[in-house]
Chain A
Amino acid sequence: MKRIAIIGAGMISNSHAKALKNVENGTLCAIADINKEAADKFAKEYQCKAYYEVETMLQQEKPDGAIICLPTFLHAKYVEVCANYGVNVLCEKPVEMTVEATQKMLDVVDKSGIIFMVAQVVRFWPGYVEIKEMADSGELGDIYMAYASRCSTMQTWGNTWLNDPDKGAGAIQDMHVHDIDYLRHLCGEVDYVYCLGSKDDTKCWNHVMSSLSFKNGFKAVAEASFTMRSTYPFTMSLNVSGTKATVEFIYRAGYSIGDRDSVNTVLRIFKDNEEPIEIVPEQYDPYEKQLSYFIELLETNKQPEIVPHQQNLDVIKAVCAIRESVDNNKIVHL
């Protein structure tokens, strides 16, 4: 049984704690948050120990793994703390704010030899998984164009850092990283980018459409927004136009992404000279899938192959290039 601690009792830590309940060979031992109230409340709800200081928790609990659920700009710092104690890490996305911070973090990981994975949960998400499998098996053929979209109303879970240009940077970093990561997974290395974007009153680029050109000639557009109005449901979609097949996936949640009860999702597949297929992907919990995979890594002492370290760096390079592009209305080569 692997003992897991969570650092940061914010919104996303709930997804991990709930998932842990259903993961074999994994158990939640403790939570750490500098906000005592938040730590206590979380500890009570998920029946684990509360700490208000990360190093104390790591020293006393000696967990097998820690899940870092802190604001993005604190990731590198706490990955280093965990690495110093030899504690393996599952780190929330985006891995960091800058290429330098990400590179430094990966160097620390390398040197310490801990097992490290970024929680790019979309790589485990029903629908996205099937499309990646179709690409790998050759069913899609070459990709002409992919369009990956992620649109939401403004997220208000008590997070001022999220819409601070240096700490969270809004949709262009926090939402966009999901699709840039998935497109890296699906299409390969990014060659150059162009981003069309609008800032909202937070001064963050909270509606962006990024054009990606990949080294293999594939093309894609990723959209991310926090600008949808009123009761617009959290919506993510992926369309891929390939030489052998056209696929379309849409996931429409309730108000927020975690609201999977009222979800509306479908995967449509069109192949040359075949009848179209419509599938409703099985609604398993992708956080559970992700955690099971992480715990398997701990048991087999392996680094993640589904979310390779080099790709984490590639993705932050692409996101930072996108930010440079939108700031200057120009094409940026990676």
Chain B
Amino acid sequence: MLKAVLIGCGLIAESHVQAIENTKGVTLSAVSDVIKEKATSLAKASGCKAYTDAELMLDEIKPDFAIICVPTYFHKDYVELCAERGIHVLCEKPLERSTKVAQQLVDIVKKNGIIFMTAQVVRFWSGYDQIKEMFLNDELGEIYMMHLRRVSSRAGEYGKWLFDPDLGGGAMHDMLVHDVDYLRHVAGPFESCYANAVKDDTGCYNNVMANIIHKNGIHAVAEVSFNMQTGYPFSFSVKIVGTKATVEYSYSAGATIADRSGSKCEMKVWKKDQGLTELEVKSFDAYQKQMAYFINCLKENKQPEIITIDESLEVIKMIDAIHKSADIGEVVRL
């Protein structure tokens, strides 16, 4: 039985706790948060120990791995605490706030030889996984255009840091990282970007249309927003137009991504000369899939192949390039 701990008891922690509860061969031993009430509340709900000091927790519990759910700009620091102790890490996305610090994080991981994975959960998400399969099986042909969309209101209990331009960076960093990562997954390395983006009253780029050209010539526009008004469901979608097929996948949840009750989901495929097919999108918990995969990597003592740390670093470089493009209003080449 593998022993897990969780650091940072904010919004996303719950998804990982549930995933552990539903995954065989792993148990949650403790959680920590600098805010005592948050730690005790989550510990109570999941029947484990609570800490306010992550280092103390790591030293006392000696877990096999830690799930890092602290705000983005703390990721490197907590990865370091784990890596020094030889504790493997599943780290929430985005990997870090800037390329510079993300590079430091990667160096720390490699120096200490721990198993590391960024929780880019979209790579495990139902629907997105089917589209990845279509790419692998060449069911789409040459791609004319991809449009990925991820929009939300700010109704969720998001931390204040998320909408601080330097700490969380708003939609351009926290939301866009999902789609940029997914594009890296299905379409490979990046060539150039142009960001059509607007800052709102938070000072963050919270409405972004990122125009992306991949090295293999695939064109994509990734759209994110945190500025949907009251009652707008957390929504994401993918449209792919290829020579062999047009695909439309869409998902809408409750007000936040954590609220997956009453979600709506559909996948439509128009294959050349074959008319419309509506594919079933299997309903499963992507966090659980992600956890099971990570646990398997630990058991086999190998680095994850579905999400490599080098790709995670490339993704942060791309987000930085998109940010730069928005700042200077020019095309940025990678």
- What bracket does the count of chain A residues touching chain B fall in? 35 or more
Q: Specify the main secondary structure of chain B where it touches its partner.
A: strand
Contact B275 A219 (CB under 8 A): no
Q: Which residues of B contact A192 (CB under 8 A)?
A: 329
Closest residue of B by beta carbon distance from A269: B229
Contact status of A145 and B241, CB under 8 A, knowing A197-B219, A331-B330: no
Give the contact-size bracket for chain B: 35 or more
Report the nearest A residue to B149, measured CB to CB: A147
Which chain A residues border B271 with CB–CB below 8 Å? Answer: 229-230
Is A190 among interface residues, defined by CB-CB distance under 8 A?
no
Question: A245 touching B275 by the CB < 8 A rule?
Answer: no
Q: Which of A221, A270, A272, A276 contacts B196 (CB 8 A)?
A: A221
A200 at the interface (CB under 8 A from B): yes
Contact B198 A228 (CB under 8 A): no
Distance from B145 Cβ to chain A, minimum over Cβ atoms (Å): 5
B200 on the A face (CB < 8 A): yes
* Cα(A270)–Cα(B231), bound, Å: 7
A330 touching B276 by the CB < 8 A rule?
no
B145 touches A211 (CB 8 A): no
B251 within 8 A of A: no
Determine whether the beta carbon of B219 is less than 8 Å from that of A194: no
Chain A residues with CB under 8 A of B246: 227-230, 232
Cβ A196 vs Cβ B244 within 8 A: no
Set of chain A residues within 8 Å of B147, measured between Cβ atoms: 209, 223
The A203-254 residues at the B interface (CB cut-off 8 A) are 206-207, 209, 211-213, 217, 219-221, 223, 225, 227-232, 241, 243-246
Secondary structure dominating the interface of A: strand
Let me know if B194 and A331 touch, CB within 8 A: yes
Q: In the complex, what's the smallest C-beta–C-beta distance from B321 to chain A, in angstroms?
A: 15
Q: Which residues of A contact B241 (CB under 8 A)?
A: 151, 207, 225, 227-229
Q: How far is the CB of B210 from chain A (nearest CB, A)?
A: 10
Is the C-beta of A155 less than 8 angstroms from some C-beta in chain B? no
Q: Which residue of B lies closest to A231 (CB)?
A: B275
Contact A194 B194 (CB under 8 A): yes
Chain B contacts for A231, CB-based, 8 A:
270, 275-276
**Contact residues in A for B157 (Cβ distance below 8 Å):** none
Measured between beta carbons, the chain A residues less than 8 angstroms from B307 are: none
Say if the beta carbon of B331 comes within 8 Å of chain A.
Answer: yes
Query: A144 touches which one: B200, B221, B231, B273 (CB < 8 A)?
Result: B200
| B207 at interface, CB cutoff 8 A | yes
B230 partner, pick from A196, A221, A273, beta carbons under 8 A: A273
- The 7 A-B residue pairs with the shortest CB-CB distance, nearest first, are A211-B196, A276-B231, A230-B270, A207-B144, A198-B144, A144-B207, A145-B207
Interface residues of A, Cβ cutoff 8 Å to B: 144-145, 147, 151, 192, 194, 196-198, 200, 206-207, 209, 211-213, 217, 219-221, 223, 225, 227-232, 241, 243-246, 270-276, 329-331
Question: Could you list 20 further interchain pairs (A-B, Cβ under 8 angstroms) beyond the known A230-B270, A243-B200?
Answer: A144-B198, A145-B225, A147-B223, A196-B145, A209-B147, A209-B221, A211-B194, A211-B209, A213-B196, A213-B329, A225-B144, A227-B145, A231-B270, A232-B276, A241-B227, A246-B228, A270-B230, A329-B192, A329-B213, A330-B331
